[in-house]
Amino acid sequence: MQASDSDKGGGPTGGGKSTTQGGGNNTAAQDARFSAEVREWLAENLDGEFRELRGLGGPGREHEAFEERLAWDRHLAAAGWTCLGWPKEWGGREASVRQQVIFHEEYAKANAPARVSHVGEELLGPTVLAFGTQAQKERFLPGVRNVTELWCQGYSEPGAGSDLAAITTSAQLDGDEWSINGQKIWTSLAHVADWCFVVARTEKGSTRHKGLSYLLVPMHQPGIEVRPIIQLTGTSEFNEVFFDDARTAADLVVGEPGDGWRIAMGTLTFERGISTLGQQIRFARELADIEALARRTGAADDPLIADRFDRAWVGLRVLRAHALRTMQDSTADDGGQASVSKLLWANWHRGLGELAMAVLGPAGLVADEHDLNEWQRLYLFTRADTIYGGSNEVQRNIISERVLGLPREARS
């Protein structure tokens, strides 16, 4: 079996190549200092009250030490480690892409806890920076930067799934407010969010991509009901959200009314950006831990399982190479590349869950539903990886129709 050490292949660019054009000794020296600064700060601060948070949280485990991880996020913010790539005007460091990669990778290597504010920092914040008004930036960016307001994403619906263009949740102007009616589903962390960015149909009679708007909606109001969805793992970080004449101010639409599809696609592009490299280091740690388990149990002696470990290691390097290549290529088709990235990592991670079960063998089939071990939980939750954030079917349709120019899939 190949070693699955997350450090293999060099630093944050794999072999020392720059993730940005130009490079040079001065840039390399700056990046080395930045990497050391991040590493030293994490080592010093993941201690004391935060020591026990290492490795906690993340998809399928968002319930773990939530309040403590929220305090950690605010500690990061106070030290200037949130929103690194943002302009200094809005509290960021204007960090280069390479430095942002370094931070995410060092964060993952330190086994720091999963962030609870990632929807705001990685999705809503960049969207408002790119498309929002000055007033919207002034109102919302400080809360994201300081982790004083948490966000959730109102995209998927029961009748539309990952097909965002098929949504039916509607919003109509009523004086100086939007009145919103409908339902969203699979809404991660809606039960703890203060705000939701909601894609709703604001032009009556419109279909598909036309007539959608991107609204910023406060969650704490009588017109919104949140119902947790119990998952296979027994946890419930996903939710149904019902809007019954929910209200938000008329000026809390990002972009122009009717331009919601373009804004929503911009958000999805941000979702599959730099932080995926940190995600891959967490994947590498999981792979290494499963490999260690296989060696202890003797499962590693099975040539078929050994072959699966080799393939998993190669697949992880492919994920890394693809992420770095797309960040380097400023002319890349964002929609197509984002869909390829989602397909690659979702299928790889689901395969890792299946590999974990193969290593466990028959013992992996025995469990109390309220006391799953980490590998059983991984297997069950990674079934969702190919669904949330845009299902495999939708991603393949995006690639085939918008990138390859193939005929649209027949829809009833």
Task: Just list the catalytic residues.
Answer: 271
The token pair at 202 is 């604001």
Whole-angstrom distance, CA of residue 365 vs CA of residue 399: 37
Give the single-character DSSP code of 402: I
Mark out the alpha helices in 132-196 (DSSP H runs). Answer: 134-145
Residues 6+ apart with CB under 8 A from 9: 15, 317, 320
3-state SS, residue 168: coil
CB under 8 A, 24+ apart: contacts of 203-206:
203/257, 203/258, 204/170, 204/172, 206/258
Give the containing element (helix H, strand E) for 170.
strand 170-174
CA–CA distances in Å: residue 369 to residues 307, 350, 365, 372, 376: 31, 20, 11, 6, 10
Whole-angstrom distance, CA of residue 338 vs CA of residue 105: 20
